[in-house]
Amino acid sequence: MPLGGVIFITVFISVFGYILIRLARLTGGTAKKTSQAKFDIYECGIPVEEKKDTKISIKFYLTAILFILFDIEIIFMYPWAANFKNFIVSGAGPFVFVSMFIFLAIFIFGLWWEIKSKALEWD
Amino acid sequence: MTSMGTTGFEITVNLIKTVLVFLMMVQAVPILVWLERRGSAFIQNRFGPNRVGPLGLVQLLADAVKFLTKEDFVPEKGSRFMFYAAPVFALIPAAIAYMAIPMSVPLKLEGATFLIQGFEVNVGIVFVLGVSSLAAYTILMAGWGSGSKYSLMGAMRASAQIISYELALGLSIVGVILIYGTFNLTDMINAQHGALSFSMFGYTVSSAYLPNWGIFYQPIGMILFFAATFAESNRLPFDLAEGEAELVAGFHTEYGGFKMLMFFIGEYGHMMIASGLMATFFFGGYSIWNFTPQQVYEWLYGLVGSELLANILNTVVHFLSYNLKFAIFLWIFIWVRWTLPRFRYDQLMDIGWKTMLPWALANAMLTATLIFAGSYFIF
């Protein structure tokens, strides 16, 4: 892992972006408060409703949980996929193939159950 | 730390290279914006920007001046730190992920070898996917920091969309990993050099005219991967994050001026990662149709007769080859944006979970079965 390079470029871009924003503030100036409406958040003419009153659908939460479950299962497939040809060469092919298909059967059952229980219906 | 070099000179060159790749990415954005505006104008039978400079090319400089003279604005209800930090952080995942994509054959100069990429990562695919999906956090930061309900709802939608398509994206690559048996992007490109040839069921198939590219092994995987990257980079037909009829402008409703521009750079950065990965996985990366880099090198050596010059030219030729493919995919991104209408949100989620995920799963299983059967049953 080129950890040094990643850290270096992260710091570099942070400083770069900071300077860019400061520069834009220097040339454009900060916003003058000429009226309250200018500093309110966007709304098309009616009184502003804050984000704390905004209701977020529970579906987003459910989607996130399902994502974590399925993503972990997909990540399990990566090392298997990278070594599959080596396993075939070394003679362990049938065992590795069948065990992954058992795992995939569980995966498919999970996906089928999820669709059947209407966890993915947005209305 | 060895991958960043051992001597002070190597480390310096490698760090400068990361900065150069980042700056390349940033300066490609104005060109893409120009291309997008002119291209959309051509598609819609309009002129587009054509007043400032030849073909409207200087329009971008005028835009930059306009961005610089906008006054700096933070909404009172917003969270000040997050509002400022989100656009800066939007640049980071895009840039880091792009650096892992190899852009040309390594440049050999008097004993030292320089990779034409920001840094080489041994687990390239996992690194690129992992880092680029961090963009969901910057979108959520922007949505929360703005303090506006439109921003928040846009951010929630965008992050739900990104994580949903992450699954189809991840699964469509399993087939690619099965074929090449590696996570390393350079090794993948090396496996795609030369003419098409593979053996299966005891037969060897080879063609003198077709290149040995991934698209011939993974056609379904390619379509699924490309479709999923559209959703990942929030482009039409999946740009529900900024459905302007419903959400004003999505997560960047409150942004303007330079901060808005930085979100743009981040979005175009994700398009560039997607195009680079498309080229790497399915179109041979920097490799040239039907030729290996060794053949190109020998041809160039016969042409110029100097080892050093031939090495440099070899790198340049492959760099151009990579950029040609890269530009074609970027153009497809722009082309699709002005061709297809936007999906509805439930349709978007249905396509991701109920269509693309099963198809990607079927593709991975089919690939595994063919590899398995192809090496065990010989007719």
Question: pLDDT, tens digit, for every residue of B123-146?
Answer: 888 888 888 888 888 888 888 888
Q: Which residue has the higher pLDDT, B85 or A39?
A: B85
pTM: 0.89
Shortest distance between the Cα of A20 and any Cα of chain B, in A, equals 8
User: What pLDDT is attached to residue A52?
Assistant: 64
Between CA A79 and CA B49 the distance in angstroms is: 50
Tell whether A68 is covered by a domain. yes
Half-sphere exposure of B41 (CA within 13 A, CB side): 13
- Could you tell me if the ipTM is greater than 0.95? no
Predicted confidence at residue B69, as pLDDT, reads 85
**What's the token pair of residue A112?**
């089928």
- Residue B1: its pLDDT value, please? 42
A78 located within any domain: yes
Q: Are strands B203-211 and B107-109 parallel, antiparallel or unpaired?
A: unpaired
Instruction: Report the alpha-carbon distance of residue A4 to residue B8 in Å, rounded.
Output: 13
| Residue where the block lists tokens 């031939």 | B310
Instruction: Give the tens place of pLDDT for each residue, A74-85.
Output: 988 999 999 998
The whole-number average pLDDT for the span A13-38 is: 83
**How many domains does chain A divide into?**
1
Instruction: State the pLDDT at residue A53.
Output: 67
Does residue A12 fall inside a structural domain?
yes
- Residue B233 is predicted with a pLDDT of 84
Tell me if B83 sits within 8 A of B75, measured CB to CB: yes
Q: What was the pLDDT predicted at B78?
A: 77
What are the residue ranges in chain B where pLDDT is below 50?
A: 1-2
Report if residue A23 sits inside a domain.
Answer: yes
Q: What is the pLDDT of residue B110?
A: 74
- Would you state the pLDDT for residue B320? 92
Cα Rg of chain B (Å, integer): 22
**Of A9, A27, A51, Cβ closest to residue B147:** A51
- The range of the structural domain enclosing residue A110 comes to 3-116
Residue of A nearest to B345 (CA): A122
Is residue A40 domain-resident? yes
Chain A nearest-CA distance from B93, in A, is 9
B92 vs A24: CB contact, 8 Å cut-off? no
- What are the residue ranges spanned by the domains of chain B? 69-376
Containing H/E element for B262? helix B257-282
Q: Looking at CA atoms only, how far is residue A119 from chain B in angstroms?
A: 11
